[in-house]
Amino acid sequence: MTYVARLLTGTATVLALALPAAATEYRIAVRDGAGGTQEALGKAFVAALEEQSGGKMTGKLFLNGQLGDEQDTVTAAATGTLDFSILAINNITPFSPTVGTLTLPYVILSQDDAETITQGEIGQEMVDQTIEDAGVRIIGWGYSGFRVLTNSKRPVSTVEDLKGLVIRVPKNEIMIDTYKSWGINPTPMAWGETFAALQQKVVDGQDNPYMTVYAMKFDEVQKYITNLRYIFSIEPLIVSEALFESLSDEEQQQVLEAGKAATKASAEFLRSEESKIRDELVARGMEITEPANGEKEFIELATTNVWPQFYDQIGGKGELNKVLASLGRPAVD
């Protein structure tokens, strides 16, 4: 087991390095609570950054949104008032629409797909575009798994079952339109307000990966899970481009290498932990329902209605076709 894997699974006993007194400590915003993908990615990054820099650079994670809600941290990093942030890709899309390809429903169909796209040429193009559009640089990719639907009212297995449920979605047009394609008008809401809204029954449900449902303790306010696979959640680690540019070439390299190590650790973390977390949610009383007919109706409605609406925003149909080709799937005409 690698050092980072041991750290993530809690068997590493001490940090390998004693930090010099003059170590620079960066602030890393983490919206979710402990125990999920975001924290795991952040811990792996800090460990790798200390190792890469010989202890000259380190980072401190601020969990539970202490440094702001996800979309706000993009603005803060862009203006240089925040160093790093870990957040869901759907909360970067409003600032850099081309990463929207990663939020289009049913484009990424597995963890392998997610890793292929983000760690290859297309991922690098998205990194470059995000710097230009949003003033932040993606230096690592976290993988959280598929966004499953949760609600407090009843089991949902068909599109018809959704009718009458009030579902919170992020302020992300692609996700809003996906629910519209399934026949309901969802409620766009900032991530930080979601737990309270579920608890107070302002909304009945929401979607996020098992890892996030667990890290946010949604099992306390939600009963039913539908095992949807419409979006595979990718959670990038971003750095303020202004901060990155202020580093020496050597330090930039160390930050990038630490980001790569964190990406690798995140992929391992999801592979080893997701099913345990799912079992734990069931043990805590949640009920899992499979979508009817292999999710066929959800897939058909979303891909037919939503994809064409966003070709322009993601940079043209060609961008989607590039992604599909890299995954060995047929192009759309």
Residues that bind ligand MLT in the complex, under the rule CB under 6 A:
31-32, 70, 87-88, 90-91, 170, 191, 208, 212
Quick one: 53 or 212, whose CB is closer to ligand MLT?
212
CB of residue 171 vs ligand MLT: minimum separation in angstroms?
8
Instruction: In angstroms, give the least distance from the CB of 31 to ligand MLT.
Output: 5
Closest residue to ligand MLT, based on beta-carbon distance: 88
C-alpha span between 146 and 307 (Å, rounded): 18
- The secondary structure of 258-283 as a DSSP string is HHHHHHHHHHHHHHHHHHHHHHHHHH
Quote the least distance from Cβ 64 to ligand MLT, whole Å.
12
Strands 84-86 and 232-240: antiparallel
Q: Which is nearer to ligand MLT, 69 or 251 (CB)?
A: 69
Question: At its nearest, how many Å lie between ligand MLT and the CB of residue 92?
Answer: 10
- Please report how close the Cβ of residue 174 comes to ligand MLT at its closest, in angstroms: 13
Q: Which is nearer to ligand MLT, 52 or 212 (CB)?
A: 212
| Minimum CB distance to ligand MLT smaller for 52 or for 208 | 208
Q: How far is CA 68 from CA 34, 78, 131, 242, 320, in A?
A: 16, 14, 21, 19, 32
- Shortest distance in whole angstroms from residue 39 CB to ligand MLT: 11
Q: How many helices (H) and strands (E) does the chain have?
A: 13, 11
Nearest to 318 by CA among 331, 327, 305, 306: 331
Q: Residue 90 or 118: which CB sits closer to ligand MLT?
A: 90
Residue 72 CB partners (closer than 8 Å, separation 6+): none
> Around 214, how many Cα atoms within 13 Å sit in the side-chain half-sphere?
23
Residue count of the chain, please give it.
Answer: 333
Nearer to ligand MLT, 195 or 311 (CB): 195
Q: How far is CA 129 from the centre of its chain?
A: 18
